[in-house]
């Protein structure tokens, strides 16, 4: 079975990495869809975010990375995937994921699997990592090493 793990990944964090790693154990094939969210102003352009993710997940044989523009259900249809995997850190995340899951099922008959965040990374968010980076702080404890290096080069 093929699954899609989607997000804007601005930047790709250890929390994201944890969800991809766990999804890779549950599904035959996993596609990490690096998306364009029109409601967000990203720190890094799409090509760099794709590069960050691709390098970070290079060790997984059954994981690939692709840029995604448009609706997730259309991406799933195009890649013949009928499952979306999402991570959630707490109650608010689960509630938001539930609404998106219902919409995705309605739009494209895509099922959603929500994995709770592992305790060790449950406090990490891209928003907080961006704030630390903008203030000149060290983000290396919160992102894969390749992402930290790319961020330092870009900032």
Residue found by looking up tokens 């995937």 in the block: 81
As given in the structure block, the two tokens for residue 155 are: 């900032």
Catalytic residue, candidates 6, 8, 16, 148: 16
**CB hemisphere CA count around 146 (13 angstroms):** 14
Does 49 participate in catalysis according to the annotation? no
Residues paired with residue 2 on neighbouring β-strands, in sequence order: 29
Task: Extract the tokens encoding 22.
Answer: 């766990």
17 is catalytic: no
Task: Identify the active-site residue in 6, 8, 24, 126.
Answer: 126
The catalytically annotated residue of 2, 22, 79, 89 is: 89
24, 62 contact by CB (below 8 A): yes
Q: Which of 40, 64, 131, 140 is catalytic?
A: 40
The yes-or-no answer on residue 126 being catalytic is yes
Residues marked active site are found at 16, 40, 89, 126
């Amino acid at each position: 079975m093929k699954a899609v793990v989607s997000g804007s990944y601005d930047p790709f964090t250890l929390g994201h990495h944890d969800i991809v790693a766990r999804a890779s154990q549950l599904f035959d094939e996993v596609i990490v869809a690096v998306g364009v969210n029109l409601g967000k102003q990203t720190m890094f352009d799409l090509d760099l975010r794709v590069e960050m993710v691709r390098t970070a997940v290079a060790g997984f044989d059954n994981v690939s990375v692709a840029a995604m523009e448009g609706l997730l259900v259309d991406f799933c249809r195009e890649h013949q995937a009928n499952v979306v995997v999402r991570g959630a850190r707490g109650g608010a995340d689960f509630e938001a994921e539930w609404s998106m899951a219902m919409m995705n099922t309605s739009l494209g008959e895509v099922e959603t699997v929500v994995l709770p965040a592992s305790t060790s990374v449950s406090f990490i968010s891209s928003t907080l990592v961006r704030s630390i980076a903008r203030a000149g702080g060290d983000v290396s404890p919160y992102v894969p090493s390749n992402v930290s290096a790319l961020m330092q080069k870009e900032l």
